[in-house]
Structure 1
Amino acid sequence: MMSGATEEHAEMKGDSPPRQRKAKRQGTRPVDILLTAVIPLAILLMIWQFIAYFAQGLGLLDIANSFVKLVIKGDADGTTLGQHTAMSMVRVTLGFALAAATAIPLGIAVGRYRLVSMVLGPVVEAFRPLPPIAWIPLSILLFRSNLIGAQVFIIWLGAFFPILINTTAGVKRTSTVHLDVASTFGTSERQILSKIVLPSAAPETFAGLRIGFGIGWMCLVAAEMFGSAIGLGYLVTITQQTGKTGETISAMIVIGFIGFLISYVFLRAEKRLLRWRREVAV
């Protein structure tokens, strides 16, 4: 009986690698690629065609011509689509980097230390419901002639709170058993943070980074609509005001595509970097 059970268990273990390889191959099958890439893209193109047609009778070919014109010749000022995109990426990268550099350490402190949570928790909850866009007039007054600083500040606000909240939740979710065992063996606080708390909070932190970048990207586009002379948000505003619907839609497509691409990169990086957690769980 025991020998049969052992053989059955060994057979099951022997079957697991092929199953895992099969599961990995499923994401690369033509059917999966069709469902996850081709069909959604076709649906998006149909939606854009519908909107463009009823807006001003523009078709996909008209939008494509406007897109090519923006890429090669640029807008009325001669600024190309690549230049607008590059400037927007610089602004959002600065704001997001500042948000990550401030929100992650603060989230660890709030989640780990009760006194910090008692002091800063109410402050965070007081400011968190305020929409970042509502800060645009005040940020312009605070930064005066430093328009890029005001825009980076708005992006920082948009990305800061999702990263902070998720990091705090991840730290609080750390197993108390692991913390108690570490304390029993006299592990230093620095080792507890680096070896136990940070790995435990990694999934929530990555989720916060992905969400924070998405919100920061939306805030960037809104912030660039006020006072900018370059950027995707500015391009949407100026082409809309001058009645160039094709160029407006082209800029909107680029904004949406970049947001999707960055979110996809974050998801892939999260799966790759946190693969060890799934292996431990199995």
Structure 2
Amino acid sequence: MGSPEQKKTSGVGKGVSFVSERLFYVLGIVLFLLAWQTASWMKVFGENFSDAFSPLAALLALIEMGKNGDIVHHALPSLRRVLISLSLAVVVALPVGVLVGYFKRLEQLTYVPFQFMRMISPLAWMPIAIIIFGVGDLSVTFLLWLVAIWPLILNTVHGAGRVSPLWLNMAKTMGAKDRGILTKIIIPAAIPDMLTGLRLAVGVSWIILVPAEMLGVPDGLGYFILDTRDRFRYDELMATIFIIGLIGYLLDSANRWLISRFAWKI
């Protein structure tokens, strides 16, 4: 055991490291804003539009959008569509992934179709989504579901398939049936990969959200991007892009917290 002085020194060192780490995060934000403002000053966005694309213009537009309710009006529908599609993807993908990962013949049977389907851009399904579901929320939800399901399935398959055969043989020797092995061994062992798949699914869903919401829905952040462009409100456009990035960062942070909280450590 270390002396009180050593523990105190160690605690101070950790505190300094924590503060230093946070300072670098802040420095990164400042440098990003400076680069953005410099690009505006240098007229990178065009002679007539660079001022509207500046951080200051975006901040003022953001304040205005907060006051008139545009942020809430468009952010909530986007979040609702993403959460619904993710929930539907989880319901389908996790059981499929566990079964495919556990039963090797099923994995061999589905490997080529799954790899083939996941390589097709979800945006390529837009015309089919419109034909089947029409213009509106159902088409957007279908596209986002299609985006989210593959990371969830493939990561769950990986987690379920990497369970040590020794564990499985021991369980079978002790009389465990497939159902007990799945619920007591396979699923708990696959939790870290499931959470990683969820993080990937959230990320790609949020990225695809903007083009997906251009399918004729009356609200949402993707819709509002087109609306600001048509009204030549480029300051609001940049503010909306900032909101999309901020919400995406918060969603990813929530997923990282889930992974740190619920994924077991090796």
Per the normalisation by structure 2, the TM-score is 0.88
Q: 1:60 is matched with which residue?
A: 55
CA contact (8 A) 1:158 1:216 kept: yes
1:186 to 175, 200, 203: 175
1:151 to 130, 140, 147: 140
Q: 2:107 is matched with which residue?
A: 117
Unaligned regions of 5+ residues in structure 2, if any? none
Judged with a 3 Å threshold, the aligned counterparts in structure 2 of structure 1 residues 25 and 271 are, in CA distance, closer, same or farther, namely farther
Q: 2:65 is matched with which residue?
A: 70
Instruction: Give the Å deviation of 1:32.
Output: 1.6
Q: 2:157 is matched with which residue?
A: 168
Say whether residues 1:39 and 2:11 are aligned partners.
no
- The answer to which structure, 1 or 2, has the higher relative contact order (CA under 8 A, 6+ apart) is 2
CA contact (8 A) 2:97 2:156 kept: yes
Judged with a 3 Å threshold, the aligned counterparts in structure 2 of structure 1 residues 24 and 216 are, in CA distance, closer, same or farther, namely farther
Judged with a 3 Å threshold, the aligned counterparts in structure 2 of structure 1 residues 173 and 232 are, in CA distance, closer, same or farther, namely same
CA contact (8 A) 1:104 1:167 kept: yes
1:200 to 181, 189, 205: 189
Q: Deviations over 1:110-162 (max 9, x none)?
A: 111123223322221221110111111210111025x1010000100111101
Q: Find the residue that maps to 1:243 and give its secondary structure.
A: coil
What is the distance in 2 between the residues matched to 1:25 and 1:176?
41
What is the distance in 2 between the residues matched to 1:24 and 1:213?
36
Q: Deviations over 1:57-97 (max 9, x none)?
A: 323322111111112125xxxxx111100010000000111
1:89-104 equivalences under 5 Å are 89-104=79-94
CA RMSD in angstroms, aligned pairs only? 2.4
Judged with a 3 Å threshold, the aligned counterparts in structure 2 of structure 1 residues 271 and 24 are, in CA distance, closer, same or farther, namely farther
Per the normalisation by structure 1, the TM-score is 0.83
Q: Find the residue that maps to 2:216 and give its secondary structure.
A: coil
What is the distance in 1 between the residues matched to 2:12 and 2:155?
30
What is the distance in 2 between the residues matched to 1:144 and 1:228?
11
Unaligned regions of 5+ residues in structure 1, if any? 1-10, 75-79
Judged with a 3 Å threshold, the aligned counterparts in structure 2 of structure 1 residues 28 and 198 are, in CA distance, closer, same or farther, namely farther
